[in-house]
A and B are shown apart, each in its own frame.
Chain A
Amino acid sequence: MKENEKMIGKDYITCGVFSLLYMVAMLLSAVMNISGYTAIFYPTLVGIFVGILFVILEVKVPKKGAVVIFSIIPALYFFASGLLEGFIGFAGVMLFALITEWMMSRRHDNLNQISVAAVVYTLYMSTLGMAENFVFTDTYCDNALAHGINETIVEQMRSFYHIKPLWAAVIVSTAITTWLGTLLGKKIMSKHLKKAGIL
């Protein structure tokens, strides 16, 4: 690896700041958990924000390891959410970060490549992140009921999560919104950040 391709202190700091913004985006998107029907589209909403942040981060820090550092705070956020679900979230974020790093190992300067990588990166939320809801539906719903969620809502969720094609819809919609997010990110870069002399 060339000397100027290595991450230095400045890059770690930029990734740390973007990592926190990513976690804030996840917390804001938690508004989707207001009902059982909208909760499954949580990754779809996060995808928009991740797409924007991912493109800007990759342009600002076009180096190997940036995506892994970017993923640390959300991964810890998942880990702190407890038990197997939290561990799967943590492992999923880091795994997809590594896959994304591998995809971009040669081309950190190609914006289309960055957009594809962003779409792959957010797949962890719609695949591994939704596995509990769609694969272990009964366990998930029983647990929700035991925690005190209203029985009618739990039964609605149970019947909703048994419609397996919905999972495919979540994956596709997350990919689409992430792609739109990257487009928005590129627009913000050219319209504002480059003009302001920040990038």
Chain B
Amino acid sequence: MRLDIRTYLILLVLSATCASLNTHVLVEIGIILALSFLQLLSGKGVFMPRLLLLYGVLLLIQYQIFPVIPEVVVLLLSLPVVNIRSFFPVIMCVVLIYKTTQVSQVVATFTKMKVSKGATIAIAIAIRYIPSLAEEWRHIKEAMWVRRATVGIHNPIVRLSKCIECYLVPLLISAIKTSDELSAAAITRGIDSPGMPTCRKYRPMGAADYIVILLSIGVTAFCVVNEYILT
């Protein structure tokens, strides 16, 4: 099952709303399971069991391990563990969008929605550039590990600035080169053409989209009622 990008965006905003509003862990688990089910329905490779496992580990740490370990450790870990756990619905939605949405589909849908050209291109490029950025970061990390660029520098400030320079400069050079390459490719495909582009990848919203939107609105409404009226 593939949903429209608009459905995913609505789902993202509503899941963020639920994550901010909801303070009941059972409701949160329900939302996570519903999103996992949606990931499973969305095709092969979308559902990430390790992500679900990580959520389980965070729950275990917060409710089983925190009460029995020294408070010093709890003081150190509580903020990151709770923050990541409570925003897990948003993380799962982002994974869902990233794994199921093609750049051409985003461009086609946003063009039909008459979103400004700048915003459409920026969002499309951001989605397209994420895997390249991850790969580039891995290469830089490996290169820095081999070269040991900061060995012998004892002053922490100099060491930090050297570290920033060693990681940032290759990343910036790669980003600028990639943007030039993408520009060349896009120009040959007519990005600056003044005419209205044809949208082959556009698909109108179907029954599944409306069902998912209605269900997510229902869950959000339940979170509001549960937080402000029932509690």
Contact = CB atoms under 8 A, between A and B. Distances in A.
A113 interface: no
Contacts of A23: 126
B79 A20 contact: no
B66 interface: yes
Contact of B118 (A15, A60, A149, A184): A15
B19 A82 contact: yes
B76 A86 contact: no
Contact of A81 (B16, B121, B125, B183): B16
B130 interface: yes
Interface stretch (B147-155, B170-178, B205-213): B170-178
A13 B182 contact: yes
Given A16-B121, A16-B125, A83 B173 contact: no
A189 to B, nearest CB: 9
Contacts of A24: 133
B37 interface: no
B176 A69 contact: no
A188 B169 contact: yes
A165 to B, nearest CB: 23
Contacts of A65: 118
A14 B176 contact: yes
Contacts of A35: 75-76, 79
A106 interface: no
A199 B62 CA distance: 49
A193 B118 CA distance: 26
Contact of B79 (A10, A60, A86, A149): A149
Nearest to A147: B86
B192 to A, nearest CB: 5
Nearest to A83: B20
Interface stretch (A72-80, A118-126, A171-179): A72-80
A80 B13 contact: yes
Interface residues of B, number: 58
A8 interface: yes
A1 interface: no
Interface size class of A (residues with CB under 8 A): 35 or more
Nearest to B119: A72
Nearest to B130: A20
A149 B78 CA distance: 6
A80 B10 CA distance: 10
Interface string A107-132: 00000000000000000000000000
B64 interface: no
Interface in B37-95: 62, 66, 71, 74-76, 78-80, 82-83, 85-87, 90, 94
B82 A148 contact: yes
B79 A153 contact: yes
B158 interface: no
A15 to B, nearest CB: 6
Given A9-B191, A147-B23, A153 B86 contact: no
A40 interface: no
A196 interface: yes
B123 interface: yes
A39 B79 contact: yes
B173 A80 contact: no
Given A15-B122, A72-B123, A148-B85, 19 more contacts: A12-B121, A13-B125, A16-B126, A17-B178, A17-B182, A23-B126, A39-B79, A56-B172, A56-B176, A60-B176, A80-B90, A81-B90, A83-B17, A146-B23, A148-B25, A149-B79, A153-B78, A184-B161, A188-B172
21 contacts: A8-B192, A10-B186, A13-B183, A16-B121, A16-B125, A20-B129, A23-B126, A34-B80, A72-B118, A81-B90, A82-B18, A82-B20, A83-B21, A86-B20, A147-B86, A148-B62, A148-B82, A149-B78, A149-B79, A188-B168, A193-B169
